[in-house]
Structure 1
Amino acid sequence: MSWTDDAAQPRRVREALGAAAGRFTFSATPRLDAELLMAHALGVSRERLLLRHLDDPAPHAFAALVERRADQEPVAYITGSRAFWTIDLAVGPGALVPRADSETLIEAAVDHFGARMPARILDLGTGPGTLLLAALDQWPAASGLGVDRSTEALAMAQGNAVRLGSATRAVFRIGDWAAGIDERFDLVLANPPYIGTGEPLPPEVRGWEPAGALFAGADGLDDYRRIVPDLPRLLAPGGAAVLEIGASQEAAVSALLRQAGLEVNVRHDLAGHPRALIAT
C-alpha cells in the first residue's frame, strides 16, 4: 500500500486513517485501531490527533504499523501501551493485553467497599500489574501484592508500578496462584485463564497472546478449581474476592465458590454478560 497520493504530495492523515481502517476488516474496531496507531506514529494522544492533526501529512512510520496490525498483531503490542481504568499500562508480548471488560472487576470492588477502603489488596495472575495498579490508583492509601508465574509479565508490572508512582505500595512476586501466601487481604482480585483448550479464538488472540494466560483445561475451569479453595483463608474479615469469568461460566464458578462457603453476587459488563463474581 502506498501512503502518498503522488511523489510530491503526501497522503493526509485523515485519508491514511480511512485506508488503514479498510484493511482491518478482521477487527471489531478498525477505525479506532487506525487512530491509535496514527497517534503513536505522531507521538500525540488520540484526542490531539483528532482535534489537530487530521489534515497533516501522514508520517512514513505509519505504514509499518499498519502492516503489523494487518498481520493481526494486537494494537497494544504495537504501541506498547494500553489504557485501563484510570491508568495507562506498558504491555508487550508475554503478558495478556488488558481488556475493557476487566474494568468490571474494579467497578464491582468500588461498589462493594463504598466509602470504605481495602487497605491490603492481592492480585492473583497480575500480568502487567493490570488489576492491582488500577486498584492502587483508585485507593491511594492502599498497598498490595501481585503474583504471577511469568517473569516477563512481572517485569512489565514492576516497570508499570514505577512509572505510575506506585512502586512503594506494590510488591510483585513470582508464584503459583496463592501457594505460599499466608497473609489475609481485604480485596482479592483475579483474572485467571478461563478459555477451554478447544474453544475458538480470534487469530490476534490465539496467535499472539501467551497461551498460559488464556487456556485452563478442556472446560476453562482448571484455575478456578485451584484458586477458589484458598479464598476463605486469604480474605480478612469483611473482605471480598472479585473474580473475572467467561460469559458462560457464572453457574459453574458460583458453585465452586459456594462449595468453599462463600456468598456470591454477579456483576455484568457493558454488553450485559456476566463478567465478575463477588465472593464474601
Structure 2
Amino acid sequence: MAHPDGLTLGDLYRGLRAQFEAAGVPEPEVSARRIAAEASGRDAAVVALSPHTPMTVRMVAHADAMAARRVAGEPLQYVLGSWGFRKLDLATDRRALIPRPETEVVAGIAIDWLQRTVRRRRLAEVNVADLGTGCGAIALSIAHEVPQARVFATDSSADALALAAANMAGLGSAATRVSLHQGSWFEALEGLHIGNDCVTELRFQRLDLIVSNPPYVADGDVPSAEIDDWEPHEALYAGPDGLDAVRTIARDARSWMAPGGLLVLEIATAQAPAVAAMAVARGYEEVRIERDLAGLDRALVASRPRSEPDAWTIDQAAERLRAGEFVVAPTDTLCGVMARYADTDAVARVCDAKERPHSEPMPILVSGLEQADELVELSPQARALAQRHWPGGLTLVARRRGGPDPLHGRETLGVRAPALGWLRWLIDEVGPVTGTSANRHGYETPAGAVEAAASLATRPGEMASPGRIIRGRALGGFASTVVDVTGDKPVVLRTGAVPAESLEFPEFPEESGA
C-alpha cells in the first residue's frame, strides 16, 4: 500500500539525511542513501535517479527502524545486515568485525599472489589458511576468485563461524573448497588432513599461503566509540602493544608453511617497523610492508625460504640446544658449532670440543636487534649500522650488558644476525647462540657439517642423537666484517663481507646520541 501522504523515495532520502545531520551521525549522506535503498529495495547507486518513486507504509516503517538504530550509534553495516567486500555481498552483524576497505587490500595481495603462483607453477590446488576469519570475508573471496584454492578458515568464536557459514551458503560451488575450524589460530588446524597426509604428523608445511586480519589494537587504545561499543572486542584488542596475535601468528606460521609459501597479515600503521623486524628475526625472506588505498602501511608480506631444513630438524636442534648440548650446522660461510649463550656450561663444552681456551671470546649469533639489545649496549649509530647490514656479514663488538662475560671475562661481546633464514628461526626459538667455526683450534673447518662434527674433540657417539648435526655444506664466501662500536666512531677490526667504506656512523642530533 502506497504511503497515505504520498511520500516518495526522494522525500525519504532527504528526511533521513536531515535526521542524521541533526543527530551528528558520521557521513549522514551515505547512511541516508544506503538506508533509503535498503528500505525501497533499490540499488544505492540509483536512489538519486528515482526520486519520485512512491514509498509504501512498510518501506517507510523499515527505514524508520533502521534510522533509529543508526542514530543510536550502531554501525551502518550492522544496520543494513550486509556489506560488499570485493566481489561478494556478505551478511554482517555483531558476531564479527565489519569487513573494511583496508582488509580488501589484504585479500587482494593474497589473491594476486595465489593467481600468479597457480599460473606460473601450473598448480591444480593450493592450500590456504585464513586465521581469525570472522564473517569469512577473506576466505570466501579467495575461494571465489582462485578456483584452485582450498581454504581452511579458523576462528576461536563459534558465533563468528556461524556467520561465516551463513555467508558460505551464498557462495555457490566455491563453498565446497572452504572448511571452517574452531580454535585459537593454528590450534584449530591440529589433526587436519590434506589429501592422504595427516598434517600434525608432518608438522604441516603444506600451506601455500597464510593470511589473517588479526586483532591489532592495543588494550589502552580505543579506535572510536562506534567500534568499541559494537564490534567484538576479542577481534579488536591484542595486548599492551596490540601485537600479541601478530607475534603468535608470525612465530608459528614458520613451521606450517610450505617452502616458498607466503604470509600476509593486516597490521596497524604504527606497528609496521616492529612487525617487519619481527618477521626478519623469525627467518622470513622478502619481507615488506604494503600500503592500503589511503597510502598507510597496512600489511606485512613475507615468504618462507624455498631451501632450508624442515621444521622437524629445526625442532630437534632446538631441543638439543635447550638441553645444554651443542649443534653443528652449515652457516653463511663455514660450518659452525652452536650452543646457547645463556648456558655457560654449554659454551664451555664448545671450547673443549674445539680444544680452544675458555679465555678466548667467540662471536654470538642473534636473530635481530631485539636479541642484540638484551646482550650489548648499542648507540643509535651502532643500531643504524645493524639495521643497514643485518641480517648479513657484519659483527658488532659492543659493551656487554651486566658486566664481564662469565666465561672469558671480557667486557665486550661480538654479535651478528646471520643471513640464513632458518638459522635466525632457530635462534629466535632458543635465544642467542655461539657463532664459532666447527673445527679444532688451529685447523681448517671442513665444508660439510657431518665431517666438521667428526673433526671435533667429542666422545664416540656423542653427536649421534637427532638434532646434533644439521646436515649440509657451508656456503663459503667472505667472513663477516668485525667492527668495534664501543667508541664515538666505528673501528674496523677485520675486513670481510661488508666493505669498510659503508661503515661510517650516520649523523644523529646531539640529544639522541649515546
TM norm. shorter chain > 0.5: yes
8 Å CA contact 2:13, 2:36 repeated in 1:
no
Q: Secondary structure at the match of 1:249?
A: helix
In structure 2, what is the equivalent of residue 69 of structure 1? 70
Residues 255 and 55 from structure 1, CA distance in 2 versus in 1: closer, same or farther, beyond 3 angstroms?
Answer: same
Question: 2 CA distance for matches of 1:233 and 1:45?
Answer: 46
Question: 2 CA distance for matches of 1:16 and 1:237?
Answer: 58
How far does residue 54 in structure 1 lie from its aligned partner after superposition?
Answer: 5.8
Structure 1 position 80 matched with structure 2 position 81? yes
8 Å CA contact 1:186, 1:235 repeated in 2:
yes
Question: 2 CA distance for matches of 1:24 and 1:269?
Answer: 31
Question: 2 CA distance for matches of 1:26 and 1:247?
Answer: 26
Question: 2 CA distance for matches of 1:217 and 1:97?
Answer: 21
The within-5 A match list for 1:125-274 is 125-165=132-172, 166-179=174-187, 180-181=189-190, 182=199, 183=204, 184-263=206-285, 264-274=287-297
How far does residue 72 in structure 1 lie from its aligned partner after superposition?
Answer: 1.0
Residues 67 and 157 from structure 1, CA distance in 2 versus in 1: closer, same or farther, beyond 3 angstroms?
Answer: same
Structure 1 position 22 matched with structure 2 position 21? yes
Tell me which amino acid in the other structure corresponds to 2:42.
Answer: V
Residues 238 and 16 from structure 1, CA distance in 2 versus in 1: closer, same or farther, beyond 3 angstroms?
Answer: same
Cα deviation, 1:110-169, whole Å, max 9, x if unaligned, reads 443453337111000000111110111111231110000000100111111121113211
Return the index of the structure with the highest Cα Rg.
2
Residues 69 and 239 from structure 1, CA distance in 2 versus in 1: closer, same or farther, beyond 3 angstroms?
Answer: same
How far does residue 56 in structure 1 lie from its aligned partner after superposition?
Answer: 3.6
In structure 2, what is the equivalent of residue 96 of structure 1? 97
Note the aligned Cα RMSD (angstroms).
Answer: 2.0
In structure 2, what is the equivalent of residue 13 of structure 1? 12
How far does residue 53 in structure 1 lie from its aligned partner after superposition?
Answer: 4.6
Question: 2 CA distance for matches of 1:114 and 1:78?
Answer: 35
In structure 1, what is the equivalent of residue 300 of structure 2? 277
Residues 200 and 230 from structure 1, CA distance in 2 versus in 1: closer, same or farther, beyond 3 angstroms?
Answer: same
Q: Secondary structure at the match of 1:52?
A: coil
Residues 273 and 226 from structure 1, CA distance in 2 versus in 1: closer, same or farther, beyond 3 angstroms?
Answer: same
Residues 66 and 125 from structure 1, CA distance in 2 versus in 1: closer, same or farther, beyond 3 angstroms?
Answer: same
Q: Secondary structure at the match of 1:205?
A: helix
Question: 2 CA distance for matches of 1:171 and 1:54?
Answer: 46
Structure 1 position 49 matched with structure 2 position 47? yes
Q: How many equivalent pairs are there? A: 274
8 Å CA contact 2:115, 2:146 repeated in 1:
no
| Most deviating of 115-124 and 219-228 | 115-124
Structure 1: give runs of 5+ residues left out of the alignment: none
Question: 2 CA distance for matches of 1:230 and 1:186?
Answer: 14
Question: 2 CA distance for matches of 1:56 and 1:248?
Answer: 50
Tell me which amino acid in the other structure corresponds to 1:34.
Answer: A
Question: 2 CA distance for matches of 1:83 and 1:8?
Answer: 34
Residues 44 and 248 from structure 1, CA distance in 2 versus in 1: closer, same or farther, beyond 3 angstroms?
Answer: same
Residues 31 and 255 from structure 1, CA distance in 2 versus in 1: closer, same or farther, beyond 3 angstroms?
Answer: same
8 Å CA contact 2:99, 2:137 repeated in 1:
yes
TM-score normalized by the length of structure 2: 0.51
TM-score normalized by the length of structure 1: 0.91
Question: 2 CA distance for matches of 1:109 and 1:74?
Answer: 27
Residues 253 and 20 from structure 1, CA distance in 2 versus in 1: closer, same or farther, beyond 3 angstroms?
Answer: same
Tell me which amino acid in the other structure corresponds to 1:266.
Answer: I
8 Å CA contact 1:82, 1:89 repeated in 2:
yes
Residues 54 and 105 from structure 1, CA distance in 2 versus in 1: closer, same or farther, beyond 3 angstroms?
Answer: farther
Question: 2 CA distance for matches of 1:136 and 1:230?
Answer: 24
8 Å CA contact 1:143, 1:170 repeated in 2:
yes
Structure 1 position 120 matched with structure 2 position 127? yes
8 Å CA contact 1:14, 1:54 repeated in 2:
no
How far does residue 32 in structure 1 lie from its aligned partner after superposition?
Answer: 1.2
